[in-house]
Amino acid sequence: MFRSGITIVHIAERDHVDPGTVSQQLHGLGLTITQGHHMVEQLPLRYSPQFIELIDNGPDAILRFVTDRVWGISATELGRQQLHAFYEFFQLHHKGVGVKEIARRLSLHRSTVAEWREGTDQPYLIRAVTDTLPITLRPGWKLLPLHLSSGGNEPSDWIQVPLKINSFSDVVDVIHQLHPLESTYGRATQFGLSRTQIDAMRIDLFGYLLGIMVGDSGKQGGQQFRYASMNLDLQLTKKKQSNEKLGEFVMLCANSVGILMERKLDKKPTGATALSKEPSDAFRWISERSPLLAWIFSVCLGLSWEETTTTHQVRMDWIFDTPSLFRTRFVQGVADSDGCVKSYEVEIASVPNSHFMTKLLQSLGMTTAHVAFEGGEPLKTRLDARQASALPIFNEFVKSYRYQKMLSYSKDCYLPSRLSLRLASKNQSLK
């Protein structure tokens, strides 16, 4: 009768005995029961048969599955403890043990056990499994979440990324999985760009963003508590008003690949800037922290977490096999960040990538590009201003103070016809 759901009190009334007698009988059967309790059918786990089959293999199998499929995930000590606790919960639930008893045995709150059962809240390693299990993975690729929230407990918008860039098509395939934020199109109007143009330029805007990351933009993050992730912190001096438009264009590029980036309060001068003769506030933009930016830093730029773009060479040989327009946008990102114009010459402070930048410019037909040595060290890349104008080496939508100065040294600039021809050709192929 008890197993059919009748309470101890009702059993006692039916048999005309004291309820305590019924409890003693049930205790004798090995059940921990108090008066008023009755059997309740255990609700089923709300997980797929594939997940149940996987977790039945044990915590180690789950961990191998996650690390084999998810890029940049880290199994912390706490994460491992949660994984083992979830496995014990799974085993006890399978045996028909109730929520309250599972919570007692595993030292968990009852609400946690109920949420695990319903799948509404899960340990982050388990969440990574349930999110990615239905996805068919390409060989040599892994999955990463574009966005993180709740300290990495709630990853979202999963995409596939290669462990190594083998060809330009790998980059294209990644971009095609990303979706521009709606704010991208509104922001594009200040640069005279339509929705159609932005959609056609998204791959090249990604190239520009890569160049900015090689330049002066701060890249905060790396291997974090649960997922590898980074954010961009762009600070540009207010001494040059065109820097505001440059920052807005970088924000446009980030938004075009689904990364939230916003304008922040101007930053007051600090450190060496504060001690300079003419200290100045800085325009500032900061992006969300995203595993995608960490993947760009690690795989696209080829840097390890302890390295920086200021002190270490990028490993980007793959870029030499990309279309010329993509290489141009990349060069523009670096030049808009680290370039300057001097007497009929454009210079990029490309430490420690002077040889790389020189080779890249030469691949674009910039025959005057060469490495400039100072004190015997290769510190800069230089080229003729007229040739730089023809590329153009500074972005023609931003039209920064560098861009304007470069044009002043190149009276016979044939920039519009050359660039328009490349853009027209690309747009026609897309149609």
Residues 4 and 84 reside in one and the same domain: no
Residues 329 and 418 reside in one and the same domain: yes
pLDDT at residue number 16: 87
Q: Where is average pLDDT lowest: 128-137, 200-209, 364-373, 410-419?
A: 410-419
Model confidence band, residue 41 (pLDDT cutoffs 50, 70, 90): low
Model confidence band, residue 410 (pLDDT cutoffs 50, 70, 90): confident
Does residue 109 fall inside a structural domain? yes
* Residue whose structure tokens are 């971009």: 175
Does the pLDDT value for residue 425 go beyond 80? no
Burial class (CB in 10 A: 0-12, 13-18, 19+), 249: buried
Rounded CA gap, 347 and 268, in Å? 28
φ, ψ dihedrals at 320, nearest 5°: -70, -15
CATH number at residue 312: 3.10.28.10
Q: Where is average pLDDT lowest: 35-39, 224-228, 299-303?
A: 35-39
Share of the chain above pLDDT 70, in %: 88
Residues 232 and 304 reside in one and the same domain: yes
Residues 9 and 45 reside in one and the same domain: no
Residues 347 and 424 reside in one and the same domain: yes
Mean pLDDT of 111-133: 93
pLDDT at residue number 44: 83
Instruction: Count the domains in the chain.
Output: 3
pLDDT for 393-402, tens place per residue? 999 999 999 9
Tokens of 274: 């504060």
Does residue 399 fall inside a structural domain? yes
pLDDT at residue number 15: 87
387 compared with 30, residue with greater pLDDT = 387
pLDDT for 257-273, tens place per residue? 999 999 999 888 776 56
pLDDT at residue number 271: 61
User: Where a domain ends, among 99, 132, 165?
Assistant: 132
Does residue 203 fall inside a structural domain? yes
Residues 68 and 194 reside in one and the same domain: no
Does residue 164 fall inside a structural domain? no
Model confidence band, residue 42 (pLDDT cutoffs 50, 70, 90): low
Model confidence band, residue 310 (pLDDT cutoffs 50, 70, 90): confident
Residues 28 and 61 reside in one and the same domain: no
Residues 336 and 395 reside in one and the same domain: yes
pLDDT at residue number 431: 38
Does residue 223 fall inside a structural domain? yes
Model confidence band, residue 209 (pLDDT cutoffs 50, 70, 90): very high
Does the pLDDT value for residue 418 go beyond 80? no
Model confidence band, residue 430 (pLDDT cutoffs 50, 70, 90): very low
The helix/strand/coil state of 333 is helix
Domain that holds residue 267: 183-430
Does the pLDDT value for residue 31 go beyond 90? no
Residues 310 and 403 reside in one and the same domain: yes
Long-range contacts of 313-317 (CB under 8 A, 24+ apart): 313/352, 313/353, 313/356, 314/214, 314/353, 314/356, 316/356
409 compared with 335, residue with greater pLDDT = 335
46 compared with 197, residue with greater pLDDT = 197
Rounded CA gap, 187 and 244, in Å? 13
Mean pLDDT of 275-290: 84
pLDDT at residue number 325: 97
Residues 413 and 275 reside in one and the same domain: yes
DSSP 73: B
Rounded CA gap, 346 and 338, in Å? 11
Residues 245 and 98 reside in one and the same domain: no
Does residue 419 fall inside a structural domain? yes
Longest dimension (CA), the chain: 110
Which segments of 238-389 are extended strands (E)? 261-267, 282-287, 339-342, 345-348, 370-374, 377-384
Residues 205 and 339 reside in one and the same domain: yes
